[in-house]
């Protein structure tokens, strides 16, 4: 909403958006090439996986159940009272839930916000150059490693 919009109008707009997004969150959405196989391979290797998103939690739950059923051990989106990425709060929640330390985890993302989040959580961060942002921006945001294919990502994770 434009700067200066009243709190009431802002809340009304947000509620309208949530209804619309709840119906249309999967429009024009599909997994990136190779991701389903990557998740399957990680599962076969016994590697736990999670999603941390700034999308509304209801949408993240819906999208993950629709496109990645049983592929993730924990899925979390934006929720009231929890700071959004790049704050590491949700990452810490994932680590606690999965009983992992930062040293046992890797953060993978396709945006500068993801790289800042990984860094803020103290995790090794891998930027995937095929997503929202390219290699240059991911590197500038502090990615420890940049990968260009899902096969390369798998190799980085299991090494």
Residue 149 CB neighbours (<10 A): 14
Residue 51 CB contacts under 8 Å (≥ 6 apart), including other chains: 60, 64, 72, 74, 75, 76, 77
Average pLDDT per block of 10 residues along the chain, 159 residues long: 94 90 85 95 97 95 94 96 97 98 98 98 98 95 97 95
pTM (two decimals): 0.88
């Amino acid at each position: 909403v434009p700067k200066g919009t009243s709190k009431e109008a802002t809340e009304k707009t947000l509620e309208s958006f949530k209804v619309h997004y709840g119906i249309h969150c999967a429009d024009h959405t599909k997994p990136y090439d190779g991701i389903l196989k990557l998740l399957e391979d990680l599962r076969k290797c016994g590697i736990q996986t999670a999603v941390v998103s700034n999308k509304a939690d209801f949408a993240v739950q819906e999208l993950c159940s629709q496109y990645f059923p049983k592929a993730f051990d924990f899925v979390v989106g934006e929720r009231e009272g929890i700071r959004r990425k790049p704050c590491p709060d949700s990452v810490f929640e994932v680590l606690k839930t999965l009983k992992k330390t930062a040293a046992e985890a890797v953060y993978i993302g396709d945006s500068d916000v993801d790289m800042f989040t990984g860094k803020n959580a103290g995790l090794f961060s891998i930027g995937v150059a095929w997503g929202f942002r390219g290699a240059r921006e991911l590197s500038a945001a502090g990615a420890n490693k940049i990968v260009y294919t899902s096969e390369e990502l798998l190799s980085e994770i299991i090494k």
